[in-house]
Amino acid sequence: MIYEQDGSYYDMDAVPTPKVIIDLDSDPDATVVEVTFGDRLGALVDTMTALKNLGLNVVKGNVFLDSSGKHNRFAITKADSGRKVEDPELLEAIRCTIINNLLKYHPESSSKLAMGVFFGAQPPNQQVDVDIATHITISNESPNRSLLNVETADRPGLLVDLVKVINDTNIAVESGEFDTEGLLARSKFHISYDGKAVPKPRQQVLANSLHYFLRRPATEDSSF
Tens of pLDDT, residue by residue over 146-158, are 999 999 999 999 9
pLDDT at residue 188 is higher than 60 = yes
In angstroms, what is the C-alpha Rg of the chain? 18
pLDDT at residue 223 is higher than 50 = no
CA atoms within 13 A on the CB side of 217: 3
Coil vs helix vs strand at 187: strand
What is the rounded average pLDDT of the residues 57-65? 85
pLDDT at residue 12 is higher than 70 = no
Find all residues with CB under 8 Å of 7, minimum gap 6, and list them: none
Cα 143 to the chain's mean position, in Å?
28
What is the rounded average pLDDT of the residues 67-83? 87
**What's residue 106's pLDDT?**
82
Domains of the chain listed by start with CATH number: 2-119 (3.30.1360), 130-214 (3.30.70.260)
Quote the CA–CA distance of 66 and 10 in Å, as a whole number: 19
| Contact status, residue 214 vs residue 152, Cβ threshold 8 Å | yes
**What's residue 68's pLDDT?**
66
Sign of the torsion formed by the C-alpha atoms of 119, 211, 142 and 86: positive
pLDDT at residue 127 is higher than 60 = yes
pLDDT at residue 222 is higher than 50 = no
Q: Which residue has the higher pLDDT, 138 or 66?
A: 138
What is the rounded average pLDDT of the residues 190-198? 97
